[in-house]
Amino acid sequence: MSEGSRGSSLAFGQVVIGPPGSGKTTYCHAMREFLGRLGRSVAVVNLDPANEALPCPCALDIAELVTLPDVMDSLGLGPNGGLIYCMEYLEANADWLRDKLQGLRGHYVLFDCPGQVELYTHHESLKNVFGQLAKWNFRLAAVHLVDSHYCTDPGKFISVLCTSLSTMLHVELPHVNVLSKMDLIEQYGKLAFNLDYYTEVLDLSYLVDHLASDPFFRNFRRLNEKLVEVIEDYSLVSFVPLNVQDKQSMRQVMQAVDKANGYSFGDQEHRSLEALMSAAVGADFHFSSTLAVQEKYVQSQDKAVEEEVMDL
């Protein structure tokens, strides 16, 4: 039997990537619960050898093959070098992964991946593992999580845009960029623009002008202009806002991912989804997810201003 034909039935899923602390593991388990309520058989696969505090049991854990502490102790490597070695070891032992995944046929699979940015921008091993999964008839979308607090700092947001674009070009999978932890965004400070400016990545010249008001960044205006030109020329990066506590937000991300990886749900799941959303948001819900999040954000800002006035 050829490598590509083994387990020939299609399987769908997501590879969940992003920097450390962006909420990948939380997302995986929240999405598993959400999809499970719609009737999907969902399995979480942990591919992060540094993830030792899993909140829930996984169907498959890379710790059965290799762990970061063992690699660091035995080879004298630091965390970054150890993670790269672990991914190279996983790539070299792809047969182990293929055999383990045979038992998950029929499941929608969420792959919880490491948080080292280099693995998605220029290192080849994890990209090659994703390529192997495609040969094994997995239809995957990359869900790239970015902490929403970066929106409050124009310099960091430009950096996030560059990283997201680089990741999209390197990983070579259908891609959904997600601004995570939207429920906490009001804690990070006031946004310079409306939320849809950041999710749709609108005219970035305004962001450069905003940066120019800072004496430090004024010296790098031409560099920032060239960076945003590259981002706008590709015109690939946009974001979906996510609050894992909000079913409407989870639904929006799910639909974006289903469109990206080609998953199409049946009538039963559609009915389950409608019932779930009716219970969650009621019949009078008319806002898109982004507008709803923006409204909540503005209300929280207004409340903070009122409290400051009262204190005075």
pLDDT digits (tens, 9 = 90+) for 56-68: 789 999 999 999 9
What is the number of alpha carbons within 13 Å of residue 39 lying toward its C-beta? 12
Q: For residue 263, is pLDDT > 80? A: yes
pTM of the model: 0.83
Residue pair 3/136 in contact by the 8 Å Cβ criterion:
yes
Q: Please give the mean pLDDT across all residues of the chain.
A: 85
- The span from the CA of 191 to the CA of 312, in Å, is 24
Question: Considering the domain boundaries, does residue 273 fall inside one?
Answer: no
Q: Are residues 173 and 187 in the same domain?
A: yes
Domain coverage including residue 222: 204-236
Is the same domain home to 109 and 230? Answer: no
Share of the chain above pLDDT 70, in %: 82
Are residues 108 and 219 located together in one domain of the fold? no
Count of the separate structural domains present in the chain: 2
* Residue 210: band (very low, low, confident or very high) from pLDDT cuts 50, 70, 90: confident
Any domain includes 74: yes
CATH code, domain with 72? 3.40.50.300
Task: Decide which of 290 and 283 is more confident.
Answer: 290
| pLDDT of 265 over the 70 cut | no
pLDDT of 77 strictly over 80? yes
pLDDT tens-digit profile of 101-160?
999 989 999 999 999 999 999 999 999 999 999 999 999 999 999 999 888 888 889 999
**Within this chain, do residues 155 and 211 fall inside the same structural domain, yes or no?**
no
Query: What is the structure's pLDDT at 190?
Result: 80
pLDDT at 53: 75
Residue 275 pLDDT exceeds 80: no
Query: Do 81 and 36 reside in the same domain of the chain?
Result: yes
Q: Give yes or no: residues 125 and 224 share one domain.
A: no
Mean pLDDT (whole number) for 11-28: 94
